[in-house]
Chains A and B, each alone.
Chain A
Amino acid sequence: MSKIGLPRGLLYYEFAPLWTTFFEALGAEVVVSPKTNKKILDDGTRYCVDDACIPVKVFHGHVLNLKNKVDTLFIPRIMGIHQKEYICPKFCGLPEMIKYSINDLPKMINTKIDYTKKDQSKRTMNQIASYITTNKKTIQKAYQMANQSYTEYKKNQKELLISNNHNIMIMGHPYIIYDDFLNMSIKKKLKKAGLYPVTYDIFDESILNKYALGYHGKIFWLFFRKMIGACLYLIDHKLVDGVIYLSSFGCGIDSVVAETVERNIRRNSQIPFMLITIDEHSGEAGFNTRLEAFIDMLKWRNKDENYLSPYGDYVYSR
């Protein structure tokens, strides 16, 4: 029985149940690297090219962690998972980045996942499965099971929204907002302060798509669509008390998306917005200070409702 390693990084946070169930149903043993820690980050930083963003560096660290434990690594080459929609080019070149940065790697499954022209999920699944088994029945069954568990996982994420008055939207790529080491357990900290953190995953895909259509530019990135959809929805519905955008330093997509989201929120609403940029030098103390200041501001705003003006407005109504 072959051991397949799944590095706990990048799109693992989006597709974990899909991939795990699929490989397990095919009869392979799945080994997932441990949660990100200091050593993984340091290793990744040492091996990865300097200019890459921190999630990619962390991914390198996870691969290093798995290197000697498994006989196959699953590092797909993801071009896009929806029609006419791409992901960051680093995902497309990820197998190359890993291959040329780390020596003595085990065998890699780097099937191309490219649905930008048409949905090829079946063909792709067959290609991936061919590394383990050629039995068509098993593949078919595994494919169904994987799909099911993924749908369930997505459904579970949606039920998390509790409609109280203290929701904070955390925006950013899934590999930052779900990696508690990179986001320095922001969720725990918010909960401790009596706030309820939510992510854009609570919204239905259809809602996000509908609102994303309202944006004037052509949208061709997966995360851009999701985040701009969530942002425009928030502006319309005022579901949250504040928005915290977690971005990684040097992220190409965030540099555009964060700016667009910020400009839209500031122009069209009075929701407080904070952008926090994370890299491998981020100190937790500075992070906490900013977070606490943000939380204080929200609380004062609730308490002194009419006495505190949002940025750019007058204190006294004229």
Chain B
Amino acid sequence: MKITFPHMGTTYIPVKMMLDELEVEVVLPPKSNKKTLELGTKYSPEGICVPFKIITGNIIEGIEQGADTVFMLTGCGPCRFGIFHALQNEIIRDMGYEVEFITADRFSNYQGLKEFVDQLKEASSSNHYIKILKTIRKGLKLLNEVDVLHDLGNKIRPKEINKGEVDYLFSHYENEIRKSYGYIEMMEITKSYQEKIKNVSINKSRDCLKVGIVGEIYTIIENYINFNIERKLGNMGVEVIRTTSATEFVREQLDFIPFIRSEKKKIYQAASLYLDIPIGGHAINTIGNIIRGVHNEYDGFVHLLPFTCMPEIVALSILPTIEKEQNVPIMSLVLDEMTGEAGYMTRLEAFVDLIQRRRELKNEGKSFSWY
């Protein structure tokens, strides 16, 4: 059995490690790129959101490289994500490939978790439950460390003295991690790069703008579709705070287990002023994270969403009111396969200029209102 799975930012690292540990052969599709998107767009329905298109492209590329099984998360909620696998199954079938889909339902209760474990057991026929559970624990640990590394990079990047040093380290990190195998090796590499990034020489006195990135999780995490927004903003001298990460997402799913804690309750509490129930997707997280960010004195927010994303459209209609009432600038960027990088850059630069000026005025003590 050769198994492939779609990309979502750096989540491929722990997933590959887990499958490595369970001694399943993994076909890692190439990182999402233009060809992936073109392939995905060609075979996907016209009106579906861009995450679907890229994921479909990933799967097709994985199959072309020889995979015969696809591992895909599903879910059950108002968002389209839960139905991705069924539609992709049909698309792949109509293309003439014979592949099997292994799907794991969102593991938000013990039964779901058990199904997930059973699926893993099926994929790796010779392993015991204990080993699988241990592997899942290792996976969560590595996922956490990878996200820590990522956030560290975001913190250091705007302050670095030699421009481009963090980016250089990151590209080396990805090269090395792609060649590595298993938990111990991957963990070692991740830890060593955390140290390396910590040792990058920085200008401590520099006062950076703080911008929170909110919105739909795939567009936040997948660097290809958001044109490396963290890197771009970081190199403009802005400290970027990712409000949603893969770790946080998994924790939110698993927080029914007593010793796993997530920020879910706090986020919902913060959002309740504007939206008091979760409506699927990450709409409530978007609202809640903005309010929390306002309390932490972020200078602005960039709201990322794929075109036609249903939950985020609801959030989008609430944002103007939040902007006005909380007196904070928010820029929404709608992403799809037609988004051009140049227009995107222009808007980002303009946004950064605006919040820069806004902060200067604030520091000079002039009264200033966004409206």
Contact = CB atoms under 8 A, between A and B. Distances in A.
Interface residues of A, number: 41
A87 B78 CA distance: 6
Contacts of B83: 217-218, 220-221, 224, 256
Contact of B279 (A93, A258, A259): A93
26 contacts: A49-B317, A52-B317, A79-B279, A86-B280, A89-B78, A90-B314, A92-B277, A96-B317, A97-B318, A112-B277, A217-B83, A217-B85, A217-B89, A218-B74, A218-B86, A220-B77, A220-B83, A249-B47, A250-B47, A251-B47, A252-B47, A254-B47, A255-B47, A256-B80, A256-B83, A267-B94
Contact of A97 (B78, B91, B317): B317
Contacts of B321: 100
Given A89-B279, A93-B283, A252 B45 contact: no
Contact of B317 (A48, A87, A220, A267): A48
A257 B87 CA distance: 9
A93 B274 CA distance: 11
B46 A255 contact: yes
Contact of B309 (A217, A252, A260, A277): A252
Nearest to B321: A100
Contacts, number: 124
B317 A101 contact: yes
B90 interface: yes
B313 interface: yes
Nearest to B314: A93
Majority DSSP secondary structure for residues of A touching B: mixed
A110 to B, nearest CB: 11
B47 A93 contact: no
B87 A259 contact: yes
A151 to B, nearest CB: 27
B60 to A, nearest CB: 16
Nearest to A264: B90
A232 to B, nearest CB: 13
B117 interface: no
Contacts of B311: 89, 93
Nearest to A262: B45
Nearest to B313: A51
B352 to A, nearest CB: 24
A49 B313 contact: yes
B15 interface: no
Contacts of A89: 78-79, 279-281, 283, 310-311, 314
B267 interface: no
Contact of A86 (B46, B78, B315, B320): B78
Contact of A217 (B86, B308, B313): B86
B274 A96 contact: yes
A84 B82 CA distance: 13
A199 interface: no
A216 interface: yes
Nearest to B334: A51
B76 interface: yes
A49 B283 CA distance: 15
A72 interface: no
Given A93-B283, A259-B45, A252 B314 contact: no
Interface in A41-89: 48-49, 51-52, 77, 79, 84, 86-89
A221 B46 CA distance: 20
A263 interface: yes
A79 B47 CA distance: 23
A20 interface: no
Nearest to B318: A100
A93 B311 CA distance: 8
B290 to A, nearest CB: 14
Q: Which 3 A-B pairs have the closest CB atoms?
A: A217-B86, A93-B314, A255-B47
Contact of A256 (B48, B74, B283, B313): B48
A86 B47 contact: no
Interface in A239-256: 247, 249-256
